A and B are shown apart, each in its own frame.
Chain A
């Protein structure tokens, strides 16, 4: 039964005044570009991905229906799925707190009222808009074991620097360190949050004898939690989507230490022409990210403070 034949809808429609009907039509007309865009560019690809995940498909041939085989393989007999999930989870656990904390610290510094602050804000924001490939190439040179800036400085203080991206134990932390470089983007969001905190709250706290630390813990942090909540979700999604660094620098190595989930997806889809399995991997990642987001959202009631 079509929507137009729904008796409740029809009755609702009939009860509307001609003016309300015109307004409703205008509203739907205004919405239609977005609805068409959503249907064509989001809903259809997601549904198609679900269909392809139930097929064996090399991209240039007709998909062959195989039911849940791709999912059975993923969960029961694919060591690379486990490796890639492990590497990605480790990266998320390592990079997410670092980015949240350092972003906040940087925002606090950028919120100081000192001359030339706009220049600092611009400088710290620039890495956020530079192409990931360019950033990766630059970091290859920064962390060059032989002639890189980092190891050269370490050498001056008597420390033998590691092989960074090419060291089994350091490859993943190196990528995590590299991700911090783009923390300026998060800092700008925090900064907007910081500047929205009413000055009178600080004045009141100061009058009550609160020091800098107390003001930070009792005023700044609680009122910044909506921004933190937003950043946590954005950074969480971003961290799960780590790809460029593995593609450009490490190729997933050494010993699959940086064999991230999206890199595995890419190899399956575009190198191994296993588009059906890649679709299953993509959907799994969607579910994981959605699950984490829902979890964060559900817990937000306990720690996010809205002034109103």
Chain B
């Protein structure tokens, strides 16, 4: 009798456990992940909401709690929450170098993902924006790039052939001079906006200091760098370009001289894919060509994408990855392309872009496979904040026309010491 009672109790207990566990599964709350993002023309709020709606429909057990904020608020909040080690979102853009160590390593997850792989993205954008210290720490959302836009009507009027992808930096100066017309208040071309960007690298001036981040001597003032700075001197001296003052007062704040280009006051301008759409909407008859390049040297493009990552302290890494791979994968980027003006970082989705068949868009797509100026910079966080700032006097002196052509070498030699001091200070802090 006693044994029967024990059996009954055991059976009842097991039954109760089973029922509870079944009930528990049935009533399980969906996991909520947090997502911080920004609204922009490329990814406006309706597109953000549509991405969430589509994701939640596919993943009923995951809810996305989105916060859309301004860029400055975003930076402040990321700094404070990552610094505090709590309160950061599960999924977000990680665009500052000091944020990258706080991003989750998704190398294994991506390799195991049957629906998405790194080969789905533009190779150089993936390598520069999603890989850090040989680990995949995010996915690249959208792509952008600089290239030269030229006004076909002005070229036709002057009887000059359109530039082609094989043009050199010295061709650029000659064409700019031929297109310059003071009577029409028109310049032939613009000036680069910083050293060691595409044209400098296309001339062969690879980097301002050594790969191991120890030496400035022989790099900043090496022969290729001197050649690139001398090319800049020739361009400034040609009188075929607006001065920085002209750009500042006549151009669009911080985005390049698209206004001057649209107004027909610049025959050629180094602009980007956003400007391409602006010029198209303004009815400008234009073409697109990669920035000039020296035959035999590697071709570079100055491009960008948004590193989209998972916070490494997230409590829901699997769910966060599900969302990240949806949002930055084909479905999410397609939604943003259709509702916003996103240029996707996946070639397969970019092929569906509304303007994909036009000449200028084909010209733009040519540059997306080139090497990125950011490839070296991404691995060398000291280059911009510290070293380029320390040696910027050389750039300014040339831009202001304060030195002679044969003084370029001496000017760069004089910049080696401050550049080296800045490098030595920065490397222990931000790494090499």
Contacts and interface: CB of A to CB of B under 8 A. Distances in A.
Contact of B96 (A79, A145, A147, A273): A273
Interface residues on B, range: 35 or more
A249 B397 CA distance: 19
A73 B428 CA distance: 14
Nearest to A257: B396
Contacts of B78: 60
Contact of B249 (A77, A141, A256): A141
B425 interface: yes
A255 B96 contact: no
Contact of B243 (A77, A79, A163, A274): A163
A255 B400 contact: yes
B223 interface: no
A296 interface: no
Interface in A9-56: 56
A59 interface: yes
A254 B400 contact: yes
Contacts of A80: 389-390
Contacts of A267: 385, 389
A226 to B, nearest CB: 41
A165 B246 CA distance: 11
Contacts of A140: 248-249
Interface string A265-301: 0010001111000000000000000000000000000
A61 B429 CA distance: 11
B34 interface: no
Given A144-B249, A163-B243, A254 B98 contact: no
Contacts of A190: none
B99 interface: yes
Given A77-B421, A145-B245, A60 B430 contact: no
A111 interface: no
B208 to A, nearest CB: 16
Q: Chain A binding site: helix, strand, loop or mixed by DSSP?
A: loop
Interface string B67-106: 0000000000011001100000000000011110110000
Given A60-B98, A141-B249, A73 B389 contact: no
B238 to A, nearest CB: 19
Interface of A: 56, 58-61, 73, 77-80, 140-141, 144-148, 163-166, 168, 249, 253-256, 267, 271-274
Contact of B390 (A56, A79, A144): A79
12 contacts: A58-B430, A59-B98, A60-B83, A61-B83, A78-B421, A140-B249, A146-B250, A164-B245, A165-B248, A168-B402, A256-B392, A274-B429
B254 to A, nearest CB: 10
Nearest to B253: A137
Nearest to A253: B396
Given A146-B249, A256-B393, A274-B385, 13 more contacts: A79-B418, A140-B248, A140-B249, A141-B249, A145-B245, A148-B249, A165-B245, A166-B243, A166-B245, A254-B400, A267-B389, A272-B386, A273-B96
A273 B243 contact: no
A93 to B, nearest CB: 23
A166 B244 contact: yes
B69 to A, nearest CB: 17
Contacts of B244: 166, 254
Given A80-B389, A141-B249, A145-B249, A168 B400 contact: yes
A178 to B, nearest CB: 15
Contacts of A147: 249
